[in-house]
């Protein structure tokens, strides 16, 4: 016998609203990824031209960085969007407004970038990477900076997203008790 939860839809609202939440969250992540990689490519163009596979015959590093960032935003952006929709609007607890979800995602993006850029600044000032040497393709300062920023960005995004999703659940649980 299947548990009752599995027989009920995850979200008991219009699919269009659920899809809108997912796509709006992904859009924020995509815009962030493209903007983020635009300063990475200016620090070390070889981050994209040498250490990424050629893509669609694109030779301009700025365009290549934008295309890679856009493509890389799909999985994390859609996953975060789905998790936000489920955590903020799923089930029978009071629903979180879409505007509040999007504001929270914006805060996650902002916090992620502050931590990532700060890690790059630390590497710039110290002249050495903060992660194991095997995580860096070369030991040139520009690559140490950009790779540190990228790794930190992924780690910080995962951490801040998890905290945000947990916060949505706590918020909804408390609203339920009012």
Predicted local distance difference test score (pLDDT) of residue 37? 97
The per-residue DSSP string of 118-155 comes to HHHHHHHHHSS-SS-GGG-S---HHHHHHHHHHHHHHH
How long is the chain?
Answer: 178
4 inside domain: no
pLDDT at 173 over 60: yes
Domain span holding position 102: 14-177
162 inside domain: yes
Predicted local distance difference test score (pLDDT) of residue 10? 56
Predicted local distance difference test score (pLDDT) of residue 70? 97
6 inside domain: no
Return contacts of 118-122, CB within 8 angstroms, 24+ apart.
Answer: 119/148, 119/149, 119/152, 120/43, 120/145, 120/146, 120/148, 120/149, 120/152, 122/148
Q: pLDDT tens digits, residue range 117-151?
A: 999 999 999 999 999 999 999 999 999 999 999 99
5 inside domain: no
73 inside domain: yes
141 inside domain: yes
9 inside domain: no
Q: pLDDT over 90 for what percent of the chain?
A: 77
52 inside domain: yes
Give, rounded to a whole angstrom, the gap between the first and last alpha carbons of the chain. 34
Predicted local distance difference test score (pLDDT) of residue 6? 38
Domain count, the chain: 1
Its pTM stands at 0.89
Half-sphere exposure of 11 (CA within 13 A, CB side): 20
Q: pLDDT tens digits, residue range 50-87?
A: 888 888 889 899 999 999 999 999 999 999 999 999 99
pLDDT at 94 over 70: yes
How far is residue 24's CA from residue 19's CA, in Å, rounded to a whole number? Answer: 8
Predicted local distance difference test score (pLDDT) of residue 4? 46
């Amino acid at each position: 016998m299947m548990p009752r939860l599995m027989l009920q839809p995850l979200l008991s609202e219009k699919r269009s609203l659920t899809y809108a939440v997912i796509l709006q969250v992904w859009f924020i992540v995509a815009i962030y990824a493209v903007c983020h990689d635009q300063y990475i490519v200016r620090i070390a163009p070889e981050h994209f031209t040498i250490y990424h596979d050629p893509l669609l015959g694109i030779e301009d590093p700025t365009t290549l960085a934008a295309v890679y960032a856009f493509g890389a935003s799909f999985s994390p952006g859609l996953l975060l969007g789905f998790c936000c929709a489920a955590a903020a609007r799923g089930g029978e607890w009071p629903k979180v407004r879409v505007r509040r979800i999007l504001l929270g995602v914006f805060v996650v993006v902002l916090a992620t970038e502050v931590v990532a850029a700060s890690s790059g600044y630390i590497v710039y000032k110290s002249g050495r990477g903060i992660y194991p040497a095997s995580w860096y393709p070369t030991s040139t300062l520009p690559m140490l900076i950009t790779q540190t920023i990228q790794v930190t960005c992924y780690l910080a995004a995962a951490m801040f997203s998890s905290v945000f999703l947990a916060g949505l659940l706590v918020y909804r649980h408390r609203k339920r008790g009012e």
